[in-house]
Amino acid sequence: MLEVAEFRIRPGEQAAFEEAIERALRTITAKAAGMKGYRFLKGFESAERYILQVTWEKLEDHMVTYRQSPERDQWRAIVSPFYAQPPLMEHLTLLAQS
């Protein structure tokens, strides 16, 4: 199961956001139960746009176990000060790949 989150960051704060989210990914996300891996991408044409893809064993690992943990609040405290708007998040199921 894939979680996809889109972040829009205030202009001029990209470097600080990148440092903060990479720290949160290393210290919190990477240790979460059921987390299989992640990818963090930056927009080429839109320098304030970022995409985070997190692969979870199952939906409950993210929506129940992780979201009810104190680590979720720690993660949000690290990254949310940079948001230009609330992030968009959804879960996707893989249908095909090459």
The domain ranges of the chain are 2-92
- Six-digit token string for 95: 């249908």
pTM: 0.94
pLDDT at 4: 98
The string of pLDDT tens digits covering residues 50-91 is 999 999 999 999 999 999 999 999 999 999 999 999 999 999
Q: Are 67 and 91 spatial neighbours (Cβ–Cβ below 8 Å)?
A: no
pLDDT at 80: 97
pLDDT at 86: 97
Reduced to 3 states (helix: H, G, I; strand: E, B; else coil), residue 87 is coil
pLDDT at 6: 98
Please determine, looking at this structure, whether the domain spanning 2-92 carries the CATH number 3.30.70.100: yes
Give the whole-angstrom CA distance, residue 90 versus residue 48.
20
The string of pLDDT tens digits covering residues 22-45 is 999 999 999 999 999 999 999 999
DSSP conformational letter for 61:
I
